[in-house]
Amino acid sequence: MSVLLLRLAGPLQSWGDSSRFATRGTRREPTKSGVIGMVAAALGRSRDDSMEDLVALRFGTRVDQPGTVVRDFHTVLTGTGKAANSALTERFYVADAVFVVGLEGDSALLDEVRNALNDPTFIIGLGRRSCPPTGQLVLGVVEQPLDDALVNVPWQASDWYQRRQSREVLLEILKESEPGEHGTTQRDVPISFSRSHRQYGWRQVVSHHIQIANPNGHDRDDWFAALEGA
């Protein structure tokens, strides 16, 4: 199978899978619905168009730089005229994070998605339109299984983040389960993006960690020596 690899990085990302009007939360890693929505926007599809071909792509994520969850407050206006009222809402984001996402499927579809992401029809964002991606978004298409592709792609974390880590780093990989695998359930499979009737289904997600070498990192003893001398 072919795998399209993406690098999702930006000052802010937001990957909600269970939000209410006053509180818009985020997961710590990209959701399938969020990434499929970004791809659909790049392809120029409307919210009422079918997403079946995109949903059929197997989805996986590697957490290269976890980032930090931050909270922002928004004041929104409801109603009009004398009936207008303001309401305070909370919105959560993941700041300074970097993820590698893999989409596994038909090579022709993945080539179309790759070209669209390099020249999108509509504005794309990392979970929200207010969260634009920075740096290189499309890493390319590889002819490997999803599991191997997520393991073999070079570490994408920022230089400053790499320098703060030790010489051995653990990276978490989360991917859709295969037959016989049992994981946790996550409701982020887009059935419909229609504004009048959004629908999401469930999928099984399994996770594990890989260890990589970090040539830009520091030795543990050097780190503690620097702290003692500070």
Q: Which amino acid is at 138?
A: V
Q: Which amino acid is at 134?
A: T
Digitized pLDDT (tens) for each residue of the chain, 230 residues in all: 899 999 999 999 999 876 566 677 889 999 999 999 999 999 999 999 999 999 999 999 999 999 999 988 667 666 666 666 776 778 899 999 999 999 999 999 999 999 999 999 999 999 999 999 999 999 999 999 999 999 999 999 999 999 999 999 999 999 999 888 888 999 999 998 987 788 899 999 999 999 999 999 987 655 555 555 54
Which residues contact residue 115 at a Cβ distance below 8 angstroms, ignoring those fewer than 6 apart? Answer: none
Residues 94/15, Cβ–Cβ less than 8 Å: yes
**Rounded to whole angstroms, how far apart are CA atoms 67 and 79?**
37
Other CB atoms within 10 Å distance of the CB of residue 122: 15
Question: What's the token pair of residue 126?
Answer: 């990392």
Q: Which amino acid is at 224?
A: F
Q: Which amino acid is at 65?
A: Q
Lookup result for tokens 């990085």: 9
